[in-house]
Amino acid sequence: MHRQLSPRVPIERDLREAYRNAGGPHGFFVLDPSGYRVKIFRYNAARGQGAQAG
Question: Is 8 within a domain?
Answer: yes
Question: Is 51 within a domain?
Answer: no
Q: Does position 53 have pLDDT exceeding 60, yes or no?
A: no
State the pLDDT at residue 18. Answer: 60
Question: Is the whole model's pTM more than 0.75, yes or no?
Answer: no
Q: How far apart are CA 38 and CA 42, in angstroms?
A: 13
Question: Is 30 within a domain?
Answer: yes
DSSP β-bridge partners for residue 30: 11, 38
Question: Is 48 within a domain?
Answer: no
Over residues 20-37, mean pLDDT: 70
Angle, CA of 36, 5 and 53, to the nearest 5°: 80
Question: Is 53 within a domain?
Answer: no
Q: How far apart are CA 8 and CA 30, in angstroms?
A: 10
Per the structure, the count of domains in the chain is: 1
Question: Is 54 within a domain?
Answer: no
Question: Is 18 within a domain?
Answer: yes
State the burial class of residue 37 (Cβ atoms within 10 Å of its Cβ: 0-12, 13-18, 19+). exposed
Residue-number span of the structural domain to which 14 is assigned: 2-43
